[in-house]
Amino acid sequence: MNVFIYGAGVLGNQVYHLIHEMPEFNISGFIDDTKEIGEPIFPDQKVTENRETLEKKISKELNFTKDYSLVLAIGPDNLAARWKVFRWGLEKGFDFPNLIHPRASVDASVSLGKGNIILANATIDYEVSIEDANYLDIGCLISHNGIIGNNNFFTTGCATAGNVKFGNHNFVGMHSTFTDDVEVGDENYFSAKNLVNRNVPNRRKILTFLDQKSLPI
């Protein structure tokens, strides 16, 4: 499968290395709307497209969106932008394949939407449902019967216990843990090493004790 990586920053580099572990994919180039076409990004790679040039190819080449797929590699600093690009790609007719590292463990009963990225040593337990455009970094654990909505970003070593539910557009810092049956709404931010044992509604910023000490009084 021929894919363009949408995003040429740190996350784009990580996805680039992930795809090199997956011989069924061929990288056709990098799309970035914040860099110049031709700009070097990491060793032996450069930006090849932006949305404007891609729009032109879509209009000129009848089967362009059938011949190429997109991989979402925009980082968590702007989850709204990630989702906007994902929706634009779907509207144009692109497919977003799920990328699952060969050393990730995903139970056969798991339901996956589109455009999810699951990195090495992540574990997705039985009867979990994961919708679209989620990112699960190295060593994440989603335990049994969990529900993950759209465009959530789980950084290294996060863990959810059984029956945990996430809405959309949440950021979860490294090594945060969610106990059984916790429900998380939309657009929340969890800093690193949180232990979350109660429900969290929408648009909350949940800081650890160490983070709170560093905040101005």
Determine the Cα–Cα distance for residues 121 and 202; give it in Å rounded to an integer.
30
Tens of pLDDT, residue by residue, the chain (217 residues): 999 999 999 999 999 999 999 999 999 999 999 999 999 998 889 999 999 999 999 999 989 999 999 999 999 999 999 999 999 999 999 999 999 999 999 999 999 999 999 999 999 999 999 999 999 999 999 999 999 999 999 999 999 999 999 999 999 999 999 999 999 999 999 999 999 999 999 999 998 755 554 444 3
In a domain, 138, yes or no: yes
In a domain, 217, yes or no: no
Write down the residue that tokens 């011989």 correspond to: 23
Phi and psi at residue 112, in whole multiples of 5°?
A: -120, 135
Domain count of the chain? 2
At residue 216, the pLDDT reads 43
Determine the Cα–Cα distance for residues 196 and 117; give it in Å rounded to an integer.
24
Out of 92, 126, 144, a domain closes at: 92
Do 69 and 103 lie in one domain? The reply is no
Do 195 and 163 lie in one domain? The reply is yes
Residue 200's domain comprises: 99-208
What CATH number is attached to the domain comprising 112?
2.160.10.10
Q: Nearest to residue 103, comparing CAs of 117, 122, 127?
A: 122
| Model confidence pLDDT, tens digit, residues 136-174 | 999 999 999 999 999 999 999 999 999 999 999 999 999
At residue 42, the pLDDT reads 87
At residue 212, the pLDDT reads 53
At residue 217, the pLDDT reads 35
Out of 54, 77, 92, a domain closes at: 92
96: three-class secondary structure by DSSP:
coil
